[in-house]
Structure 1
Amino acid sequence: MKKKLVVFSGAGISAESGVQTFRDSNGLWENHRVEDVASPEGFARNPQMVLDFYNARRRQLTEITPNNAHLILAELELYFDVEIITQNVDDLHERAGSTKVIHLHGELKKVRPINSDSNIISWEKDLNVGDFNFEGIQLRPHIVWFGEMVPEMEKAIEIASQADFFLVVGTSMMVYPAAGLIHYIPGNCEIFVIDPNLSNNFTENKNHFATSATQGMELFKKSILEKINN
């Protein structure tokens, strides 16, 4: 039976594919206040501006491809039961070949009616004011905005609690409740961290790779395969 590798990924893993990140100094927040584009109140004030913001990000997905970090995670399914819990709203994990991915903060290629967390619809094109579901309800991005519940959190906690190995890659561990997942892993679970900026308060130094996601995944792959082969 394969050991379970649970991966908690963030913006740093997609940045190397060219995805702009929210929290970097040159990130998307620079031209938009958080309250304007990532809150129910912002959407109520100016829905088309919010829709345009996410339309631009959705269109960008056609211009980028998974990088080697995404590809290695998919490859590791040959050796482990890999489950990815991501804060990212892109589809790069899936396009790389990973088969078990939970998006805590939603997905750019999905929309839902403004009055429901469910009834989710796949969506590839631009979304505009006047785009309704079959009940005549305006659609909105399937994105978890600030102040909203994280519907997948309970499922993510259950997965984290079953981990034999837990990998943190490309995340500041500053966004809650998502960052709290690390508190639910078993006591005997071995933790690995890949991030050049994240202070290591989580694991042994030998399991902390202060590198980019792509470089760190190469090092992690070598380390984790040695563990199961020895």
Structure 2
Amino acid sequence: MHILIVEDNALVASGIRTGLQLHGMQADVAGTAAAAQAHVDARSYDACVLDLGLPDGDGLALLRRWRAAGTALPVLILSARSALDDRIAGFEQGTDDYLAKPFDLHELALRLQALVRRAGGRASDRVTLGECEIDLASGAVWRAGVPLELPRREWLLLAALVQAGGRVLSTAQLHDSLYGLGEEVGSNTVNVHVHHLRRKLGADLIDTVRGLGFRLGARYQQQLVPAASSTSA
């Protein structure tokens, strides 16, 4: 899950980013409305945490422009403006959720997971793919009932493919899901992570679409349903 944090307070933004990373999310930070727009124009995000008091304009104006342009990016407003009128204004301009400062990082992460889950049309974060069971909220993965520990990048790649359903994701899109802006990585990094996931979870879990990228294995695309039982119990 790749999140855009729009927050002009560098300390607050850094704390949010670190907290979301601990919950298995990748995050980029924009300190102005202009920077946020540039980020959204340059890459795809699963959700956005939006502050309202930005140095070059109001966050509501930015949100209004996004919605007018048809940008469906799920947005959670995170603001010190906690009055009822402020919250109503946020929803009227198109926000999907609203959380007042001060806030709890765990709650923020759960709300973002819920936004992405609803955007993907899923009723649950727990999905079953053949003999593999995946919890998109906790990052837990099991194969044939045996828990697996995936490195963070492999988990982010797996989550991106599951959340995409059967859509093909290009190498560039998967790169964006795994790494923040400015991170230097090798050109073959995504392919290496795909190789490791296939070895651990099954060779047919990820299909290569020649010339386009990768997608969830064709046989699993209709299995994105809530798991019937809790393997971790």
Q: TM-score, normalised by structure 1?
A: 0.35
Higher RCO structure, 1 or 2 (CA under 8 Å, sep 6+)? 1
Q: TM-score, normalised by structure 2?
A: 0.35
